[in-house]
Structure 1
Amino acid sequence: MSGTTVRAAGCVLWRRTEPSGELEICLVHRPRYDDWSHPKGKLKRGETAIDAALREVLEETGHHCVPGARLPTVRYLANGRPKEVTYWVAEATDGAFVPGDEVDRILWLPLDAARTHLTQPRDRALLAGVCPGGPS
């Protein structure tokens, strides 16, 4: 890999449904790429990874969240440049989704359905940090 590494951060966002308490994972649809992924985005100058992750969740899903365990950092090439994304498991608290240019839809899906619906295998691998009984 060559070039400056693009640093980004995001969250595997989860909630419990009412009244069953079933675990659901939030996926975002990005029309630019026509893909389904976890909310994430590039760090702004001087921003910490956790601050970027929480900002991106709010910007892309409209939800505030409480971060939990840090997940493995994901590294891959994006447009020929190395990219490094730091993730956390995060519980959604309050908020409401408003479609925008960057993210036009979100889905809340049970864990197995979310795993199947994600476009990239690297995003599916992050769900190993979330077990059926709740985040680990």
Structure 2
Amino acid sequence: MRRLILAALMLASVPALAQPAPAPQAMPATLPFSPAVRVGDILYMSGQIGQVPQGMDPHSDGFDAAVRQAMDSIGRILADNGLDFGHVVKCTVMLDDMADWPRFNAAYLPYFKGKRLPARSAFGADGLALGAPLEVECIAAFK
């Protein structure tokens, strides 16, 4: 009888553990960050992701399209603040797969054609926002 009562008490605590996890929350209509914040003569931009268009190979043309998508977003933020890629002083690149490093470089470089290259860091990241293969964040200086 004692074992039966003990087993019943133990089982009484299990349902809380056996409950299914709540469904993930949908992305908010407005994201909890600004595209960019100016502090003095420095513009700090939030990271911009690039996504591979549906049906494209994530490690060839699709990846190149994702890089262009991220860099074009950065270009729009720069333009909204009266700047261009010549004002970028530092970029941080996050790649879901470091094997894409050469493809990233090839697609990134034309954005700085005729301009000096910014300082840059890059690292591999497992699990970027929305399953993106890359994210790029930049800092620009007003001249």
TMscore range, shorter length: under 0.3
How does the TM-score come out when normalised to structure 2? 0.26
Higher-Rg member (1/2): 2
**Whose strand fraction is larger, Structure 1's or Structure 2's?**
1
